[in-house]
C-alpha cells in the first residue's frame, strides 16, 4: 500500500481524551485521532467538535476513530471514508471511559448540548 498524505502510523495518540476538552474542563461524545500528529479530539456530535476544529486549524486532513472496535478513517479534504493502515497503539480509548465522557464532567442535561 502506498503511503497517504496525513497518515503516519508511527505517531502515537496524544492521550486518552480530547486535548482541548481536557484543558477546558469539557466533555465529549466520541473521540477521533488525527493520523498525522496524534491529536485526540472530540467528534462532531460533541458540544465543541474539536477534531474538526483541529483539521481547520492545522490542515491535518485525516482522522480515524478512537472508539473501541472502530477502525474507519475519514479524509476531510475529500469527505470520504477509507480503510487505512494499522496505527500504533493505543488505537482506542480506555474501555472504562464512558460515552459521553469523562463521567465526572458530563452534565445531567447533556442531550441538550450535543449536535445531531
Ligand atoms: Zn473536545
Ligand atoms: Zn493533527
Distance of CA 12 to the CA centre of its chain: 13
Ligand approaching nearest to the C-alpha of 23 = 1
Residue 95 CA to ligand 1 centre (angstroms): 18
pLDDT at position 2, please?
55
**Environment class of residue 50 by beta-carbon count within 10 Å: exposed (0-12), middle (13-18) or buried (19+)?**
buried
The pTM (predicted TM-score) of the whole model is 0.96
Distance of CA 92 to the CA centre of its chain: 10
Task: Name the DSSP letter for residue 73.
Answer: E
- Terminal Cα distance for the chain, rounded: 35
pLDDT at position 69, please?
96
Residue 34 CA to ligand 2 centre (angstroms): 5
CA dist., res. 59 & res. 41, Å (int): 14
Reported as a single tens digit per residue, the pLDDT across 11-67 is 999 999 999 999 999 999 999 999 999 999 999 999 999 999 999 999 999 999 999
Which grid coordinates belong to 29? Answer: 461524545
Task: Return the domain boundaries, the chain.
Answer: 1-88
* CATH code for the structural domain at 1-88: 3.30.40.10
Residue 2 CA to ligand 1 centre (angstroms): 31
Ligand approaching nearest to the C-alpha of 51 = 1
Reported as a single tens digit per residue, the pLDDT across 65-104 is 999 999 999 999 999 999 999 999 999 999 999 999 999 9
Residue 85 CA to ligand 2 centre (angstroms): 17
| Rg, the chain, Cα only | 14
Q: Could you list which residues have their CB under 5 Å from ion ligand 1?
A: 18, 20-21, 28, 42, 48, 50
Task: Indicate if the pLDDT at residue 116 is higher than 90.
Answer: no
Amino acid at each position: 500500500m502506498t503511503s497517504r498524505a496525513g497518515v503516519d502510523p508511527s505517531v502515537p495518540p496524544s492521550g486518552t481524551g480530547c486535548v482541548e476538552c481536557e484543558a477546558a474542563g469539557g466533555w465529549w461524545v466520541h473521540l477521533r485521532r488525527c493520523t498525522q500528529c496524534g491529536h485526540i479530539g472530540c467528534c462532531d456530535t460533541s458540544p465543541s467538535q474539536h477534531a474538526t476544529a483541529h483539521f481547520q486549524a492545522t490542515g491535518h486532513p485525516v482522522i480515524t476513530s478512537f472508539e473501541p472496535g472502530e477502525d474507519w478513517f475519514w479524509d476531510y479534504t475529500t469527505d470520504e471514508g477509507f480503510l487505512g493502515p494499522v496505527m500504533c497503539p493505543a488505537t482506542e480509548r480506555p474501555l472504562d471511559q464512558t460515552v459521553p465522557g469523562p463521567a465526572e464532567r458530563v452534565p445531567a442535561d447533556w442531550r441538550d448540548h450535543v449536535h445531531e
